Amino acid sequence: MDYSDKVMDHFANPRNCRPMEDADGVGQVGNPTCGDLMTIYIKVEDDKIADISFQTFGCGAAIATSSMITEIAVGKTLDEALAISRNDVAEELDGLPPIKMHCSNLAADGLQAAIENYYETHQS
């Protein structure tokens, strides 16, 4: 299976891979078919993602997409972050093999779940 240099770099050197104890929103998603499990943590300040991190149990593509979505989303408003699509993640990694596209789905879904969790727990 051919992975882009960006996928290999994010797999070997994942960015923002850590738990976040004081997260404002947490999204947990998984794919029971392949066994990938992903948790995305966000810290929100002034309606923007000020910090984001992840913990992923899964294949190299799942780790790479988790890492990449943290780079794409940081600094964006919550609305901008919600608009990040599954294809955006794959494109930023210079593509994924078709059999691994579900991994980019997990990363985008995890971010959306974290934002939804933030809204649920921070309604005034």
CB 49 within 8 A of CB 42: yes
Number of domains in the chain: 1
Q: Are 42 and 25 in contact (CB under 8 A)?
A: yes
Sheet strands side by side (includes 48-57):
25-31, 36-45, 48-57
Question: Of these residues, 103, 106, 108, 111, which one is catalytic?
Answer: 103
The answer to whether 34 is a known catalytic residue is yes
Q: What residue numbers bound the domain in which 39 lies?
A: 5-119
Residue 46 lies in a domain: yes
Q: Is residue 61 part of a domain?
A: yes
- For the chain, the distance separating the N- and C-terminal CA atoms, rounded to the nearest angstrom, is 48
Residue at 124 is within a domain? no
Question: What is the per-residue pLDDT across 50-86, written as a single tens digit (0 to 9) for each?
Answer: 999 999 998 889 999 999 999 999 999 999 999 999 8
What tens digit of pLDDT does each residue of 20-48 get? 999 999 999 997 777 889 999 999 999 99
Can you tell me the distance from the alpha carbon of 63 to that of 53, in angstroms, rounded to the nearest whole number? 12
Catalytic member of 15, 26, 31, 34: 34
Residue 68 in any domain: the answer is yes
Q: Is the pTM of this model over 0.85?
A: yes
Active site residue 103: yes
75 within some domain: yes
User: Which CATH number do you get for residue 82?
Assistant: 3.90.1010.10
Residue 100 falls inside a structural domain: yes
Which residues does 88 contact at the CB level (< 8 Å), separation at least 6? 72, 108
